[in-house]
């Protein structure tokens, strides 16, 4: 058994304009193994990962000071401890909350958010300086790849970097400072000061008396509650109501905007019958789809932001991203030599051209199948990729991976190529051993010309062996559940050649499907080929009383071979848990209540922050995390809580709809809640508001808010 449980398939769009969108959320605590990656894993700063995610959307929690959290693929939430941790989001759009202590924060590829939303005291964040970040004397360090910041309720100072940032102040009198790129600054409640920098910025004052200076570039200011002063600065400020106008209490000084025109709908393109020869467009055609303007949201009429006057410098208004990205399968090329010996670890690199219509490619992955069917595939890219030439909409990507020493000899062939864009659309190419492939979208098919990777040398062909007869508990086997309890046992493990890299186990009671991972495996004596391993984990508070036995022990060697064995309960006796209270149920959501915090509509010219408030309760241990799927036809977003709920059970989840996303009414399609013990409940919601609960007979009708995303109005001048 694994240390995490997937509920459904990852976020994805399906062919045409349909959408099959259900998030994959894993709860992972302690050292695990990424099933698609051979060998040991390290964060981008070189530290060995102790809490490891998957290619899906995971929630990783540090259980001890000094943990190294590695999200890998997917849109992950990483939560640190009260001490010094390392958080590496990897590929995908991740949320990083290091907690207290001097943390190392690594965003990786994708658009990543550094969250201080749970802070009540001021924080200082400068994404360009990368050091001395966080609260007073906290000294967090930003290693790489952070684009967005979410402040707390204090008077925060947040400064962007050369990337396109979304800086959100939250409550308090905040100072938000943009940089060279086109940034979005959202002050939130309080008397904020927003300084836009040199790019074409979006400045959102929020409630309170705000001061807004657009700086250089062509800037847009959104009218929100409050009395704001907008300074002309060195650039062009576009005032939605004209220079000197007052709109929703805001005073704007700048250039008046023209009257918007209504876009003309056109007929959507329909994919044709799949071709029989390779079809990889040199530039994916941009759909001519212009959806009908949606109805207004539930509380605020939609406001279409007018375009910049043609007399002012501006970039073209973005279109909707309705087409999936594509890989030019004929462009696959080895960067490193395609023939290597396995006497040592080998860095393997491949390049491939990837294209997208509007939003741009965010990550690329290539997987190689081993000639040994018992060995895992080698994954290149995702958390180790770079754009070497071109642009995000048409560029050449280099992906890399590490082939461990003593890996299987023979021909390693491409098994999959994967490309994903910023609007969450992706295309997966499945490649057969003979090189023929089919794509998940548009009927792509053909045959690649990339030769196999040929590995020579002596390989490890045998999985490790765990001696369960010699396993023994180090910790007590009689425990109360009044607090968290650490438990550990030792076991001899051997391997023939490459050496053992990890040992883990699972505890179960048999009364329900809840399990406790013992995921911290450490070599305590001997060697990696013949040693004694200590396997430990943390029993959560309020663990149900009863006998908890080790149901499986899994050992993994350096080339990825695994073996799983079940120990004799007479040797490794069950743990006896006693106590007066047990957490027996996952959290529940009051589906009759859902409230949108802030705007309920906007156009897709920029990322649109979305916040939804829910009421969530739990029987004993308390709620720990809440997540939401928020979708429309052809688009979607994920919202996550990154701060504890209030005493009355109200939780706010945060997220954003990416720029150029499909327009329409975005609605809640899924709600996922966890408690402190690790139990989880899933709600699946239909467009009409009816819902079901996973593994439960409970059904009903929800009352959840919607967000209306509008197309950008086109100018006739």
pLDDT in tens, 488-500: 999 999 999 999 9
Provide the mean pLDDT of the chain.
78
pLDDT, position 382: 67
Chain-centre distance for alpha carbon 712: 27
SS3 254: coil
Q: Residue 468: phi, psi to the nearest 5?
A: -65, -25
pLDDT > 60? residue 16: no
Strand ranges for 391-529 from DSSP E: 394-403, 410-421, 426-431, 436-439, 445-447, 453-456, 465-466, 472-473, 478-480, 485-494, 500-508, 515-518, 520-526
As beta bridge partners, residue 707 has 666
Other Cβ atoms within 10 Å of 578 Cβ, number:
11
Predicted local confidence at residue 697, as pLDDT: 94
- Could you give the CA distance from residue 619 to residue 679 in angstroms, rounded to a whole number? 11
CA distance 21 to 279: 26
pLDDT digits (tens, 9 = 90+) for 356-382: 988 889 889 999 999 998 888 998 886
Of 126-140, 355-369, 395-409, 536-550, the least confident = 126-140
Q: Which residue has the higher pLDDT, 88 or 300?
A: 88
What's the helix, strand, coil split of the chain in %, to 5? Answer: 0, 45, 55
Q: In the predicted model, is pLDDT for residue 460 greater than 50?
A: yes
pLDDT recorded at residue 3: 31
List the structure tokens of 36. Answer: 């698609």
pLDDT in the model for residue 181:
63
CA–centroid distance for 646 within its chain? 25
Residue 717 burial (10 A CB sphere; 0-12, 13-18, 19+): exposed
Q: Which pLDDT score, from 0 to 100, does residue 288 have?
A: 28
Phi, psi of 451 (to 5 degrees): -70, 160
Query: Could you tell me the pLDDT band of residue 119, with boundaries at 50, 70 and 90?
Result: confident
List Cβ neighbours of 246 (8 Å cut-off, separation of 6 or more): none
pLDDT of residue 245 exceeding 60: no
Farthest-apart Cα atoms in the chain, separation: 83
Q: Quote the pTM value.
A: 0.63
* Distance, CA of 450 to CA of 433 (rounded, Å): 11
Looking at residue 499, the DSSP 8-state letter turns out to be -
Secondary structure (DSSP) of 59-97: EEE--STT-EEE--SS--EEE--SS--EEE--SS--EEE
DSSP 3-state assignment of 468? Answer: helix
Question: What is the pLDDT, as a whole number, of residue 259?
Answer: 36
| 338-353 mean pLDDT | 96
Per residue in 291-329, pLDDT tens?
222 332 322 222 222 233 333 333 444 567 778 899 999
Q: What is the mean pLDDT of residues 447-471?
A: 96
């Amino acid at each position: 058994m694994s240390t995490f449980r997937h509920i459904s398939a990852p976020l994805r769009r399906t062919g045409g304009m349909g959408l099959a969108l259900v998030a994959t959320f894993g709860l992972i605590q302690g050292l695990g193994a990424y099933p698609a990656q051979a060998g040991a894993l390290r964060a981008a700063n070189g530290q060995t990962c102790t809490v490891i995610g998957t290619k899906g959307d995971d929630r990783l929690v540090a259980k001890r000071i000094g943990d190294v959290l590695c999200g890998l693929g997917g849109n992950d939430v990483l939560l640190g401890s009260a001490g010094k941790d390392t958080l590496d989001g990897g590929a995908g759009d991740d949320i990083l909350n290091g907690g207290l202590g001097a943390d190392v924060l690594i965003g990786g590829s994708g658009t990543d958010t550094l969250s201080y939303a749970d802070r009540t005291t001021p924080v200082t964040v400068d994404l360009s300086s990368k050091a001395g970040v966080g609260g007073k004397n906290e000294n967090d360090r930003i290693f790489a790849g952070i684009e967005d910041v979410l402040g707390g309720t204090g008077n925060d100072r947040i400064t962007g970097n050369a990337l396109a940032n979304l800086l959100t102040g939250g409550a308090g009198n905040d100072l938000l400072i943009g940089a060279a790129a086109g940034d979005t600054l959202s002050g939130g409640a309080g008397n904020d000061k927003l300084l836009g920098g040199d790019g074409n910025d979006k400045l959102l004052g929020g409630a309170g008396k705000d001061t807004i200076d657009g700086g250089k570039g062509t800037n847009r200011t959104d009218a929100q509650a409050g009395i704001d002063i907008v300074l002309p600065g060195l650039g062009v400020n576009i005032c939605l109501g004209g220079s000197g106008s007052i709109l929703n209490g805001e005073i704007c000084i700048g250039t008046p905007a023209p009257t918007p025109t209504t876009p003309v709908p056109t007929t959507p393109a329909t994919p044709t019958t799949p071709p029989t020869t390779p079809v990889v467009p040199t530039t994916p055609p941009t759909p001519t789809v212009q959806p009908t303007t949606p109805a207004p949201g539930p509380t605020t009429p939609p406001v279409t932001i007018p375009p910049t006057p043609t007399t002012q410098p501006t970039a073209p208004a973005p279109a909707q991203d309705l087409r999936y990205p594509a890989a030019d399968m004929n462009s696959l090329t080895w960067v490193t030599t395609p023939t290597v010996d396995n006497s040592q670890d080998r860095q393997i690199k491949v390049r491939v051209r990837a294209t997208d219509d509007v939003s741009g490619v965010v990550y690329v992955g290539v997987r190689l199948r081993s000639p040994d069917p018992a060995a895992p595939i080698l994954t290149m890219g995702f958390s180790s990729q770079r754009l070497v030439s071109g642009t995000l909409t048409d560029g050449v990507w280099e992906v890399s991976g590490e082939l461990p020493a003593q890996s299987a000899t023979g021909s390693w062939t491409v098994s999959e190529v994967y490309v994903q864009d910023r609007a969450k659309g992706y295309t997966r190419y499945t490649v057969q051993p003979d090189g023929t492939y089919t794509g998940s979208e548009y009927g792509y098919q053909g045959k690649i010309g990339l030769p196999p990777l040929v590995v020579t040398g002596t390989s490890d062909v045998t999985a490790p062996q765990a001696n369960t007869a010699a396993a023994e508990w180090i910790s007590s086997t009689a425990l109360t559940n009044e607090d968290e309890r650490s438990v550990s046992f030792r076991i001899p493990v051997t391997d023939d050649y490459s050496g053992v890299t990890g040992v883990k186990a699972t505890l179960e009671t048999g009364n329900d499907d809840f399990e406790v991972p013992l995921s911290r495996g450490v070599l305590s004596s001997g060697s990696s080929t013949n040693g004694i391993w200590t396997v430990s984990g943390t029993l959560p508070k309020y663990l149900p009383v009863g006998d908890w036995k080790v149901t499986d022990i899994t050992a993994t060697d350096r080339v990825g071979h695994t073996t799983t064995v079940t120990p004799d309960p007479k040797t490794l006796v069950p743990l006896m848990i006693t106590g007066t209270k047990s957490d027996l149920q996952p959290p529940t959501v009051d589906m009759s209540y859902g409230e949108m915090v802030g705007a309920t509509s906007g156009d897709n010219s920029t990322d649109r922050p979305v916040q939804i408030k829910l009421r969530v309760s739990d029987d004993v241990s308390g709620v720990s995390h809440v997540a939401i799927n928020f979708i429309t036809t052809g688009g979607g977003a994920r919202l996550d809580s990154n701060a504890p709920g209030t005493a009355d059970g109200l939780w706010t989840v945060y997220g954003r709809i990416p720029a150029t996303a499909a327009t329409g009414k975005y609605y809640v399609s899924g709600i996922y809640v966890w408690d402190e013990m690790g139990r989880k409940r899933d709600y699946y919601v239909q467009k009409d508001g009816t819902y079901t609960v996973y593994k439960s007979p409970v059904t009903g009708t929800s009352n959840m808010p919607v967000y209306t995303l509008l197309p950008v109005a086109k100018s006739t001048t």
